[in-house]
Structure 1
Amino acid sequence: MPLYKTIQPNSQTTVKIWKITESYDELIKPLDLKPNSLERVLGMKSELHQRGFLSVRHLLREFGYTDQDLYYDENGKPHLKDDKYISITHSFTFSGVIISSSEIGIDIEKQRDKIAIIAKKFVDYEFKYLSKTDEDYIKKLTVIWGIKESLYKLFATPGMLFREHFLVIPFMLEDGETIAWIDYKGKKYRYNTHFLEFEGFSCAFVTT
């Protein structure tokens, strides 16, 4: 399937989402991969991961980039050679890329009940406004995880903890946006966050 969705939260930022319906062969055939990218994809044990990796390269093409324009730093954070900021995600049958002139992060997650079991590992302040009896409890937890994962990708600093260093301001799912903070080593950083859901998945992304 071609491009699934395009979102422009501001004039400097674009999000593109891909629904992965193609086979591995269909995805890899039109791509020109760098040797290390080809080595990475061939070394993946799961075809689902392979297809996620390749669909991201198709999203790059939608933006006018190639695999050669993308590289990763020592913390595993992706960068573009033209110094635009980029963040990447894929989960099961969806992948997403966000590109901006300022720092950003993105995450897509499948909405699953088991997130409630691990909630204490990434939620602290947010429990003040969450209710386990809320019919949207799982969806809200998934949004909070996605926002914190996006913040982690943006900041890319080893040692940061979702529960202790990231804070998501109360939100309603229908709002599609809220504010999030990073509180780390005595400094506070404020970010705009956006979220949406589709086909049992949640996508969250953060902008400065």
Structure 2
Amino acid sequence: MPLYKTITPNSQTTVKIWEITESYEELMQPITLTETCMNRVLSMKSDLHRRGFLSVRHLLAEFGYTDADLYYDENGKPHLKDGKHISITHSFTFSGVIISDNEVGIDIEKQREKIAVIAHKFIGYERDYLDSSAEDYINKLTVIWCIKESLYKLFATPGMLFRTHFLVIPFMIKDEETVAWIDYKDFKYRYNTHFFEFEGFTCAYVC
């Protein structure tokens, strides 16, 4: 059972990362799924997506939860029946879950050059400090995407745009933290965000 990493940002919050090395059959055997989730898994065409979905259920078990403890609201945001806050992510061969007493968001993304092609879709204010010729340009783009995706998962409000409503202030990759803002309609929220790189992936989380 490859639990890759556990992080405890504070006494109310825990992050767990899973490296997906098992086959679909190996991941399926030790866990029990609700009928809804079983149907969802069986309808997935991608083996990688099925394994990512199941690995999240293994992470839930690491926290002491079962699939039946998890439900989703009308915006697709996950919740736990005991009232704790949860956010979920998976990308290729890694998945992650963050659980806290407070609102949280998490995202994992594989670092890929093609993120530069879509940068105009999620970069706004950040264009003022990003240098497309810098060696760490792709890494910084990936961090910004992960932070904004984490904020979106935390807020789960239709109509929010990454480029317009989320702002990430300048940072260094080595710092592994920065400040981000949500500026949406009459709301302005400041968040301390954290990120780290591993195995060619980036993970960011917001609590």
TM-score normalised per structure 1? 0.98
- The separation in 1 between residues aligned to 2:64 and 2:193, in whole angstroms, is 25
Superposed CA RMSD: 0.6
The aligned counterpart of 1:83 is: 83
Partner of 2:170: 170
- 1:134-145 alignment to 2 at 5 Å? 134-145=134-145
- Residue in structure 1 matched with residue 16 of structure 2 by the alignment: 16
Identity among equivalent positions (%) equals 77
Per-residue CA deviation, residues 41-81 of structure 1 (Å, 9 max, x unaligned), is 00000000000000000000000000010000010000000
Is 2:66 aligned against 1:66? yes
Please show how residues 106-145 of structure 1 align to structure 2 within 5 Å.
Answer: 106-145=106-145
Match of 2:51, SS state, is: helix
Gaps of 5+ in 1: none
2:49 counterpart of 1:28: no
1:30 corresponds to which letter in structure 2? P
TM-score by length of 2: 0.99
Q: Secondary structure at the match of 1:196?
A: strand
2:178 is paired with a residue whose SS is strand
Which 4+ stretches in 1 moved above 6 angstroms?
none
Distance 1:8 1:203 in 2: 14
Separation (CA, whole Å) in 1 of partners of 2:90 and 2:59: 11
Cα displacement (A) at 1:11:
1.1
Instruction: Look up the SS of the partner of 2:40 in the other structure.
Output: helix
Q: Which residue of 1 aligns with 2:151?
A: 151
Amino acid at match of 2:29: K
Residue-pair matches, total:
207
Which residue identity lines up with residue 172 of structure 1 in the other structure?
M
* 5+ long unaligned stretches in structure 2: none
Letter in 2 for 1:117: V
The CA deviation at 1:118 is: 0.6
Structure 1 residues 98-145: Cα deviation after superposition (integer angstroms, max 9, x where no partner) = 000000000000000000011011001111111011100000000000
Q: CA deviation at 1:186?
A: 2.3
Q: Which residue of 2 aligns with 1:160?
A: 160
- What amino acid sits opposite 1:85 in the alignment? H
| Shift, 1:86, TM fit | 0.0
| Aligned residue type for 2:27 | L
CA distance in 2, matches of 1:168, 1:3: 30
